[in-house]
Amino acid sequence: MSRDTYGSPRITIELREQGDTCSKNRVARIMKENDIMAKTARKFKVTTNSKHDMPISENLLKQDFSVSTPDRVWVSDITYIRTQEGWLYLSIILDLYSRKIVGWSISDRITKKVVTDALLKAIWNRKPSKGLIVHSDQGSQYASNEFRNIIQRYGFVQSMSGKGNCYDNAVAESFFHTFKTECVYPEVYNSKAEAKSAIFDYIEIFYNRLRRHSTINYMSPVDFEKKLDIEMKLRVS
């Protein structure tokens, strides 16, 4: 289930939920003795082009990534994937509450369309209320009239990181760090179609539904949101 991505904390929780009694130290020791380890990361290049003359929105988050309800703050970013047929570019929309990827889009080119498509898919999937904050870096795709028009049309509020400050969009950056480590670097994609299939599987099947996230009590994003639904129903009943 972990797809070789878990270290000892997540494996410990997985084993406990399966009925095994174990400690994190014991799991770590057994993993070390048997040369078992999570996939490791590599560095990747920046895809942000902030050298433009378009308007820049105020940073409303100021590195405060704690959100108490779904669909109050979304963060977005773009990354690249190498294939034998050329580059692909992935844009994601992530809900800060559950860390779920609520919308995403893939393109052969790093244009404004890849980010607008991801945002429109997230809106279609979640039907968020007015006042939602959409945060990103200062890239030209996010500063474009097309992206801003969607935000204004639905009554959302745009927020942008400080120039060159990756920490202002740390949660989106963290997702791509994990995504690259677990889905991209271990593989060689012979075609764009093969890469697209792997990305769909990683986001929709593994990351959103199965992968345990330390920030949300080692639950998957889908399970974390289900827990909220149950709690809300109990309060009403």
> Are 133 and 213 part of one and the same domain?
yes
Residue 26: the pLDDT is: 56
Higher pLDDT pick, 23 / 57: 57
Q: Are residues 129 and 16 in the same domain?
A: no
Note whether 202 and 178 are within 8 A (CB). no
* 44-69 pLDDT, tens digit each: 444 555 566 789 999 999 999 999 99
Question: Which residues make Cβ contacts (< 8 Å) with residue 6, sequence separation at least 6?
Answer: 14, 38, 212
Give the CA distances from residue 132 to residues 20, 22, 96, 190, in Å, rounded to whole numbers and listed in that order. Answer: 42, 42, 11, 39
Domain for residue 131, yes or no?
yes
Establish if 120 belongs to a structural domain: yes
Tell me, yes or no, whether 89 and 187 share the same domain. yes
Do strands 101-107 and 157-160 pair parallel, antiparallel, or not at all (unpaired)? unpaired
Query: Do residues 103 and 219 share a domain?
Result: yes
Considering only CA atoms, give the Rg of the chain: 19
Q: What residues does 133 pair with on adjacent strands? A: 73, 157
Task: Identify whether residues 90 and 28 lie together within a single domain.
Answer: no
Q: What is the CATH number for 152?
A: 3.30.420.10
Q: In angstroms, how far apart are the furthest CA atoms of the chain? A: 59
For residues 104 and 209, membership in a common domain is answered with yes
Residue 140 lies in a domain: yes
Q: Are residues 30 and 82 in the same domain?
A: no
Q: Which domain holds residue 113?
A: 73-227
Domain assignment present for residue 198? The answer is: yes
Total domains in the chain come to 2
pLDDT at residue number 32: 53
**What is d(CA 33, CA 23) in angstroms, rounded to the nearest whole number?**
16
- Burial-class residue 85 by CB neighbours within 10 Å (0-12, 13-18, 19+): middle
105 in any annotated domain: yes
Say whether pLDDT at 137 is over 90: yes
**110 and 24 share a domain?**
no
Residue 232 belongs to some domain of the structure: no
**Domain assignment present for 154:** yes
Residue range 155-182, pLDDT digits in tens: 999 999 998 788 999 999 999 999 999 9
